[in-house]
Amino acid sequence: MSGVIKSEPFVINIGPQHPSTHGVFRIKATVDGEKVIDAEMVMGYLHRSMEKLAEERTYTQNIPFTDRTDYLSSMSNNLGYCLAVEKLAGIEVPPRGNAIRVIMAELQRLASHCMAVGAFANDTGAWQTPVMWAFREREKILDIFEVTSGARLTCNYMRIGGVAFDLRPEFEPMVRRVLRDFPPFIDEMEGLLSGNEIFIARTKGVGVLTPEMATNASLSGPMLRGSGIAWDIRKADPYCGYEQYDFDIPIGYNGDSYDRFIVRLEEMRQSVRIIQQALDGLPGGPFRTEVPLALRPPKGEAYARIESPRGELGYYLVSDEGPSPYRFHIRPPSFINLSALKEMTVGGTVADAIVVLGSIDIVVGEIDR
Amino acid sequence: MTPFLTSDRWYDIRDLGNLSSAILEALDKVLPFEVVYILAAVIGFVASFLLFVLPSQLFVGVYGERRLIGRMQSRLGPNRVGPFGLLQPIADAIKLIQKEALTPTQADRAVMYVAPILFVMPAVLLWAVIPFGEHMVIADIPVSLMYFLAVSSLPVIATFMAGWSANNKYSLFGAMRIVSMVISYESPLVLTLLGAVVLTGTISLSGMVAWADEFNIWVVFVQPLALVIYFICVSAELNRTPVDIAEAESEIVAGYLTEYSGMKWGLFYGMDIGYALAASGFITTVFLGGWTFFGLEAWIPGWLIFIAKTYLIYFLFIWTRGTLPRLRADQLMAFAWKFLLPLGVFNLLIVSTERMLWFEQDYAKGLVYVFAAVNIALSAVLVYVWARFNGYRPERTPTRPRLVKQAGGYIPVGERS
Amino acid sequence: MMDGFGPSLAFWVLAAITLVAAGGVMVSRNLLHAVLFLILTFVGVAGFFVLLSADFIAMAQVIIYVGAIAVLVLFAVLLTPRSSRDNSETRWAAPGILLAVCLAAIFLFVVHDTAWRTVDAAPANLSAASLGRALLSTWVVPFEIASVLLTAALVGAIMLTRSPEEEAEDALA
């Protein structure tokens, strides 16, 4: 024994039924005392074979599927898919449609980040208070979605060539109210968590991702920006007219969980700015170009990507001139971001692993599809 | 107590001890001694139950623990069962009794069965030495502070038994964590209480209240640091939320409670409130002058003052639960050993010196106020200096990310974009 | 002290609990059960102290033995590999029994041959204040020696359990 106490490593299953895995995801962690010495990710519990199913349905019929991949940001997923189809078929979207899409996507980013920030705080142990506060604000945005699209979570609002319906008259005052309420809420969250000693102690230096690791694992979204890399599809490869709006990319310092958290908070501020500009300059005119219901895009392939709340969301479509896609593939940001989980958790404690998982902000519907 | 309005008649509700002693004296004339002896204990228990435990479970269990936290979390909390949702804990208890108490096949059945019972017993025993009013204490033993410490170290064994017997890895984690926590936090806890003991020169809880009454100052003003350290330590021992690593919900599901269900779980849950209340009562007695309030106790019943103070302290528990995230196990250990323990030693050093000075001045009444002023300033300085010494630099943590206009590659920290 | 119905009943109940628990420590095959029985024994002994009007010592017994030492033992058991194994190795049973019989014989002999004095009045010097005074005046040298010994043991324990990696880290720092 040489005077050193050795403990036996044992395997502990974090998930598939665990309060902090945000769905049915499982980390098979080998722990030595509290220390994680190996972590294996097990996924597929929520696999619904969406990509294969989509090959049997028409292009329009596939839009509801995209709602159910990342169910916390259905608007962004609709948008990504519609952009891919439009690219494939060469369809132009009218300016009003684009502006509505931007507003919706940014509102969705607010709602999704509310959830991300709240759930992350819950994972650090702030017992439900931040998540409840975040839900309170998220409700207001979901109300807007309900008024506009008829659904709160799975909106199915974007259409190929624009959006499904025009905005209702009560839309603008509701959004203005959200814009008024949101900056104080972000300040409130900052006051509750950003400067909190316990929160800093729990998240600072936990799950550090160096810029090299982040790029090598092809991460995107707040994960990448937290590591100090200025990358945002909205700036780098603008879509829907994002180039007209003035906003900044927040980037972190060390790439730890804390940086990812403050980056998300700041992204919410920037989203409020974008919505403000888009709403002030909302053009008139048609909100959609008419597209045949049984769309048959020309032979070819297209990849469209957007900056979803979780990172680069890409849709890859191959058309064989049939009414349904020959190949339908999603590049889910959660799934790719998760690939760095092992590097971030091994060496930390079990509690750290939970915090790291929370800071990735996964949606299992998107990972397993 | 001022003689004004004070009497020892049974109808004087400012001291319910009068009533119970009147009853016991009357009974003593007709019943043998042994029966009265047992009856006295029963009366004390029933009285403290009716006065305190039952209303506490109703008011604190619902209004504190759930409605108040509900308000903090911008939701309503239970409001359906009974008037204002007051009967919710009773409904919960009925539900829990109806539920099946599952035992895993590979569990250590006997230990798992005994653990909740062992957990409840100390929670009841703790109240025996807490003085509710001038004569209102069930067992006024001379070492009541030691008694409280001794009895409050028992539930740890029960929680360990619960965690170990379930044969579940999460439970085992919880058990391991609670044992290591107790080892770490017991020492600063006792050290800080030693500060209060040295100051008041007694280890009797009634004696401490009497001290506060005599010098017209609460121990907390002379020993502010002790209260802060004690509060943190007791939160850690009781598994309250900022430091509830033994049942950390987001990490190890429910820790030692993972495999418990039904009323076995209910006993653990209900007694969590019981222990926190007992700790609040203890803090009230030791640090906040118990049932005295600078002479107000002559007009208002002392037990009401005591209960009000206890709920105030309990509110602090709820407040921290509603706002603070949880620390990691190793951080908690480091905090206990590197921060609380040295501060406790410093505090003891200071208070011992003061006690010496005070003794030389023949316990002059005015001097204790000087000590209070000195200690409050000294505590603040001590905490600040010790924190800096341990490498605490809050200004090095930027709370806002950097902002860039253009997408590009990696931007090292310190470089302008 | 032992007159009256209550104290005698308490004595017999405590004696039964303590003895049965002590027997449990020996008999139980599961190491954890043995520790739990040991804790029960400690509590029983604390009860005896209460019966003897030694409140302070009783409370100290519970705090130190149940609150601290037993918890440490539990910790040690948790860190021991295969702690819940069936402890059926009986290599040491015969010498153990022999030793126990010898000890019991000596104890019985001593108990039988001592002229026990009975005191009617309650022992006067068992309050916490007088205990403290005795510790810090009459018995101050043994008290200090004990504390120095404990400190040395503490430092020694830390030195023993340090891993070579930690040593190397400290050497670098």
A16 CB neighbours in chain B (<8 A) are none
Classified as helix, coil or strand, A37 is strand
Q: Do A352 and B328 touch (CB under 8 A)?
A: yes
Give every residue of chain C whose pLDDT is below 50, as ranges.
1-2
Angstrom distance (rounded) from CA B273 to CA B241: 12
Residues A297-314 as b/e (b if ≥16 CB within 10 A, e otherwise) read beeeebebbbbbbbbbbb
Q: Which residue among A3, A4, A8 sits closest to C81, beta carbon to beta carbon? A: A8
B325 CB neighbours in chain A (<8 A) are 121, 124-126, 193, 196, 198-199, 202
What's the pLDDT tens digit per position in B11-35?
666 666 677 777 777 777 777 777 7
| pLDDT value of position B12 | 64
Average confidence score pLDDT of chain A: 86
Q: Do B37 and C6 touch (CB under 8 A)?
A: yes
**Contacts of C144 by beta carbon, 8 Å cutoff, 6+ apart:** none
Lowest mean pLDDT among A309-323, B101-115, B307-321, B387-401: B387-401
pLDDT-based confidence at residue A286 (cuts at 50, 70, 90) = confident
Q: Which residue among B251, B321, B401 sits closest to A266, beta carbon to beta carbon? A: B401
A3 CB neighbours in chain C (<8 A) are 160-161
Angstrom distance (rounded) from CA A362 to CA B87: 40
A235 has a pLDDT exceeding 90: no
A32: left (phi over 0), alpha (psi -120 to 50) or beta: beta
| pLDDT value of position B10 | 62
Read off the pTM.
0.83
B108 CB neighbours in chain C (<8 A) are 30, 32
- Those residues of chain B whose CB sits closer than 8 Å to some CB in chain C are 34, 37, 108, 111, 141-143, 146-147, 149-151, 153-154, 156-157, 160-161, 164, 172, 175-176, 179-180, 182-183, 186, 190, 203
What's the pLDDT tens digit per position in B211-250?
888 888 888 888 888 888 899 888 888 877 777 776 766 6
The token pair at B359 is 């003794």
Distance from CA of A318 to the nearest CA of B (A): 29
Q: Do A5 and C161 touch (CB under 8 A)?
A: yes
Angstrom distance (rounded) from CA A266 to CA A362: 19
Are the C-beta atoms of residues A366 and A337 closer than 8 Å to each other?
no
| pLDDT value of position C159 | 79
Residue B109's identity, in one-letter code, is R
B180 CB neighbours in chain A (<8 A) are none
Angstrom distance (rounded) from CA A144 to CA C154: 64
Classified as helix, coil or strand, C73 is helix
A72 has a pLDDT exceeding 70: yes
Angstrom distance (rounded) from CA C139 to CA B207: 27
B331: left (phi over 0), alpha (psi -120 to 50) or beta: alpha
Q: Which residue among B146, B180, B203 sits closest to C63, beta carbon to beta carbon? A: B146
Q: Do B143 and C39 touch (CB under 8 A)?
A: no
Chains B–C, number of C-beta pairs less than 8 Å apart: 74
Angstrom distance (rounded) from CA B238 to CA C112: 48
**Contacts of A202 by beta carbon, 8 Å cutoff, 6+ apart:** A124, A125, A351, A355, B325, B326, B327, B328, B331
The dihedral of CA B250, B255, B257, B261: what is its sign?
A: positive
C163 CB neighbours in chain A (<8 A) are 4
Residue A362's identity, in one-letter code, is I
What's the pLDDT tens digit per position in B59-86?
666 676 778 888 888 888 788 887 777 7
**Contacts of B408 by beta carbon, 8 Å cutoff, 6+ apart:** A230, A231, B417
Q: Which CATH class is domain C1-86?
A: mainly alpha
Alpha helices in B219-328 (DSSP H): 219-222, 224-238, 249-252, 262-287, 302-323
Residues A244-277 as b/e (b if ≥16 CB within 10 A, e otherwise) read ebebbbbbbbbbbbbbbbbbbbbbbbbbbbbbbb
Q: Do C161 and A8 touch (CB under 8 A)?
A: no
Residue B202's identity, in one-letter code, is T
Domains of chain A: 50-368 (1.10.645.10)
Distance from CA of A138 to the nearest CA of B (A): 13
Q: Do A5 and C164 touch (CB under 8 A)?
A: no
Say what the ipTM of the complex is. Answer: 0.78
